[in-house]
Amino acid sequence: ALQAGIVGLPNVGKSTLFNALVENGKAQAANFPFCTIEPNVGIVQVEDPRLAVLSSISGSKDLIPATVEFVDIAGLVKGASKGEGMGNQFLTNIRNTDAICQVVRCFEDDDIVHVAGKVDPLDDIDVINLELALADLEVISKRQERLRKGKKAADQAEKDELELAALDKIQVAIEAGKGARTAPLTKDEAVAVKGLGLLTLKPLIYAANVTEDDLADQGANNTHVQALRKRAAEEGVQVVVVSAKVEAELNELPKEEAKEWLESLGVTDGGLSSLVRATYSTLGLQTYFTTGEKETRAWTIRKGMTAPQAAGVIHTDFEKGFIRAETIAFNDFVKNKGYTGSKEAGSLRLEGKEYVVQEGDVLLFRFNV
Ligand code: GDP
């Protein structure tokens, strides 16, 4: 499964947020079979109102949401790239993730010490992004050295040239303080450097951690959030406003009380589900559905996957023996109240091997065994 790493300076609310994500997952885990959680890995459900709609049409017994994994990555401090703190371990952990969720402290609280002495999101971001960039530069220079060394067969030389060209572009971007993800790589170049696990190449989200008062207006009156949004817009990075503390406290409350409290705050949740959804989409993931009397289920695929590849997510046999996918767009399925209605209305399409699955498709696979 794809994983997002939660990073940030000490005391910004990472653990609080991670625990809230995990507790929330546990609370809803009743019909969810894969909930084995390692201490720092949490499997989190992606809330999706479409599931309930489909399951009521199909009369499904079970309802199984998509999930995404979060990893709590502690230990990022100034100097981490030079091995300060838990430096190297930290870098290894983060290298293994597919996206980064950077928690940024946007709440004031004199009782909670800030490592730099004051709350300043832009400073915090700079410290973290610099550590990630320095770690990347080290990987890049080692790799360049290796690629430039020695004689090689013609096809290998060509591959190496491609990778070197990509590394040059990335180096320029990083040295300009912008991170590898802003480098204008071609598709082939992006593939060539994928294995290096460059940290600033990973998709990024900023989670602005705020107090309860800032939830209703999404931090519009919080100067820290405003500054963060401005910076994020320049970087092309998404900001999600969340209150780790509210989410943690919600998990402690009985359902009714939790609901009342949220209503008094003028919100429907503390931002957690927005964060999960944003992460899912930042990871390049999308959902298709299967639905029937037994269950309605959301399946996770990468954007651009074909119908056989999507079938393979359910079972490898489905991919190998793929014949066709009976396909109905979500809206058509709802409008026509299910399979039979959609078929009669001509909204059921028979799609073949080349079909690229679309967000929200309701699929039924036909395959040879
Ligand atoms: P980490 O070091 O980044 O993992 O930070 P923690 O999650 O341990 O949080 C550090 C402290 O900040 C804890 O005492 C939290 O209760 C507190 N904290 C986290 N989020 C908030 C928040 O939104 N508002 C306030 N006032 N305190 C928070």
Token pair of 118 as six digits: 């004051």
Q: Are 97 and 197 in contact (CB under 8 A)?
A: no
Listed as ranges, residues in the chain with pLDDT below 50 are 29-37
Q: Alpha-carbon distance 222 to 107, whole Å?
A: 9
Report pLDDT digits (tens) over 117-171.
Answer: 888 999 999 999 998 999 899 999 999 999 998 777 888 888 999 999 999 999 9
| Cα–Cα nearest to 342, from 331, 352, 355 | 331
Residue 74: predicted pLDDT: 75
Provide the pLDDT for residue 31. Answer: 43
| Architecture per CATH, 3-282 | 3-Layer(aba) Sandwich (3.40)
- Ligand 1 centroid distance, CA of 200 (Å): 25
Q: How confident is the model at residue 155, as a pLDDT? A: 83
Q: Distance (Å, rounded) from C-alpha 181 to C-alpha 235?
A: 9
Helices 121-148 & 154-175 angle (0-180, nearest 10): 160
Quote the CA–CA distance of 167 and 163 in Å, as a whole number.
6
Distance 273 CA to ligand 1 centre (A): 19
Nearest CA, atom 21, ligand 1? 245
Atom of ligand 1 nearest to the CA of 9: 3
Q: Of ligand 1's atoms, which has the minimum distance to the CA of residue 246?
A: 23
Ligand 1 centroid distance, CA of 3 (Å): 23
pLDDT of residue 142: 93
What pLDDT does 34 receive? 41
Q: In the CATH hierarchy, which fold is given to the domain comprising 304-367?
A: Ubiquitin-like (UB roll) (3.10.20)
| Ligand 1 lined by 16 (C-beta under 6 Å) | yes
Could you give the ipTM of this predicted complex?
Answer: 0.93
Q: Pick from 11, 23, 108 the residue to mutate for probing ligand 1's pocket: most ligand atoms within 8 Å of its CB.
A: 11
For ligand 1, say whether the CB of 245 is within 6 Å of any of its atoms. Answer: yes
Task: Report whether residue 270 contacts ligand 1, using a CB cutoff of 6 Å.
Answer: no
161-170 CB contacts, 8 Å cutoff, 24+ apart: 162/188, 162/189, 162/192, 163/189, 163/192, 163/193, 165/189, 166/190, 166/192, 166/193, 167/140, 167/143, 167/193, 170/136, 170/140, 170/198, 170/201
Q: What is the pLDDT of residue 205?
A: 96
The tokens of 113 are what? 């010490």
Q: What is the pLDDT of residue 152?
A: 78
pLDDT at 28: 52
Ligand 1 center to 86 CA (angstroms):
20
pTM of the predicted model as reported, rounded to 2 decimal places: 0.85
Angle between helices 223-235 and 121-148 (to 10 degrees): 30
Q: Which residues are annotated as a binding site for ATP?
A: 11-16, 210
In the chain, where the domains are located: 3-282, 304-367
pLDDT of residue 154: 81
Alpha carbon 106 to chain centroid, angstroms: 21
3-state helix/strand/coil string of 313-356: HHCHHHHHCEEEEEEECHHHHHHCCCHHHHHHCCCCEEECCCCE
pLDDT of residue 48: 92
243 lines ligand 1 (CB under 6 A): yes
